[in-house]
Amino acid sequence: MVVDNPGETDARQTLAPGISSRPPEAARPPEESGNGTVLDIKDLTIDFVSVDGRVRILNGVSLNAKKGEVVGIVGESGSGKTTLGLAILGLLDSPPADIVSGTAFFEGKDLLKLKPAELEKVHGTGINMVFQEPLDSLNPVYTVETQIGEALKVQRKRQDPPAAQETEGETKNLITDLLRNLCIDKPEEVLERYPHELSGGMRQRVAISISIIEKPRLMISDEPTTGLDAYVQNRILGMFSAQRKAGETLLYITHDLTIASQICDRIYIMYAGRVMEAGETRGVLQEPLHPYTSTLVASVPQGFEDAPPLSVQLGEPPDLRNLPHGCKFNPRCPYAKDVCKETEPKLEEIFSRRYAACWRVDKELGRFS
């Protein structure tokens, strides 16, 4: 009467949707937009201006995502992950934010140059974002039902041609099903509550369901499962996988490598506002090129109590106001050479679709040396 026998578990894992059977990526130059590239960010540099001066939050970040792809942005706090997400949505207030250079094309339009009214048309059903702190994105004076229902209405109206609006009963059924899918028990009761009456995990799931119901073409989720239990986390990740199957693109921001390894097709490793390494998830995490990626991987606890100490870099995360010369990782890098302290390495293609910004990565050998 054992519930989950291990063999069964393994079988289910290999059959999980979209993870193991990944379609081979067609070789296409990133410049040609329109044929599958949904988001194309080039050389994005953003400063924050305050009385204390200018702080560079993002420095020359380039990133792209194709239709139906899950792209992970991984890094520690302060690496610029969230700023990148907000910039794509055009939600950075200026001041303090100052977009110094770069473009962010979404379906052929540069998001950074859109007027607020045009941007509003993109938001919701074009691009939307699940924020880390769900209280910020929910309206405190409306019930859960109203808020999800509103999103659904917008979605129906914007369909081409506009779809008929559901009756109240149908809307309710749709929303209840969605909430139930996100492991919410007694969704009928939750519908009538206000955000402050819900626990953090529930709020997060309500925020996610608002995003999901709008069926965006690009969804950005910023640490959506932080602080949630393993089950709920799995369920949410499962729903994201299903969305990807429906052709939605997902930009997944996280500091948790175990999550990234589960759902992302490709990942970008960010540090101090720069992309340090990029490539297919499995390759990057199993054979990291950049020492920073290696340290991140080595930081994930593995084994039991008697396991050896975790190998970690010394020192604290970088202070963006006071970055070192050369490679920004060099003070924490065990392999830093003189050149690393003088000149900053550029992100280069080391081999096919694998990028790294490190002087110690040999392009000819195609590995760290």
Half-sphere exposure of 108 (CA within 13 A, CB side): 3
Binding residue for another protein, selected from 52, 303, 322, 369, defined by CB under 8 A: 303
Binding residues for another protein, total number by CB under 8 A: 59
Q: Give the range of 34-42, 49-57, 230-238, 336-344 binding another protein by CB under 8 A.
A: 230-238
* 246 is a contact residue toward another protein (CB under 8 A): no
Shortest spacing between CB 199 and another protein, in angstroms: 7
Find out whether 132 and 222 touch, Cβ atoms under 8 Å. Answer: yes
Q: What residues between 89 and 118 interact with another protein by CB under 8 A?
A: none
Binding residue for another protein, selected from 95, 227, 247, 334, defined by CB under 8 A: 227
Binding residue for another protein, selected from 238, 283, 324, 331, defined by CB under 8 A: 238
Find out whether 92 and 83 touch, Cβ atoms under 8 Å. Answer: yes
Distances (CA, A) of 332 to 55, 76, 81, 328: 21, 14, 20, 9
Taken in order 283, 285, 287, 291, the sign of the CA dihedral is positive
Q: Give the range of 26-34, 134-142, 156-164, 295-303 binding another protein by CB under 8 A.
A: 295-303
Q: What residues between 136 and 175 interact with another protein by CB under 8 A?
A: none
Cα 179 from Cα 184, distance rounded (Å): 6
Pairing assessment for the beta strands 274-280 and 266-271 based on DSSP bridges = antiparallel
Q: Give the range of 33-41, 86-94, 305-313, 351-359 binding another protein by CB under 8 A.
A: 305-313
Binding residue for another protein, selected from 49, 310, 339, 365, defined by CB under 8 A: 310
Cα 195 from Cα 85, distance rounded (Å): 24
Q: Give the range of 16-24, 81-89, 155-163, 352-360 binding another protein by CB under 8 A.
A: 16-24
Cα 265 from Cα 13, distance rounded (Å): 17
Cβ neighbours of residue 105 closer than 8 Å, sequence gap 6 or more: 33, 39, 40, 41, 42, 111
* 63 is a contact residue toward another protein (CB under 8 A): no
Q: Is there a cis peptide before residue 95, judged by omega within 30 degrees of 0?
A: yes
Cα 72 from Cα 67, distance rounded (Å): 14
Binding residue for another protein, selected from 258, 338, 343, 348, defined by CB under 8 A: 258
String marking each residue 198-217 x if it binds another protein according to CB under 8 A: -x-x----------------
Applying CB under 8 A, the residues found at the interface with another protein are 1-4, 9, 12-16, 19-20, 76-77, 180, 183-185, 199, 201, 227, 229-235, 237-238, 241, 255-259, 261-263, 285, 295-305, 307, 309-310, 312-314, 316-317
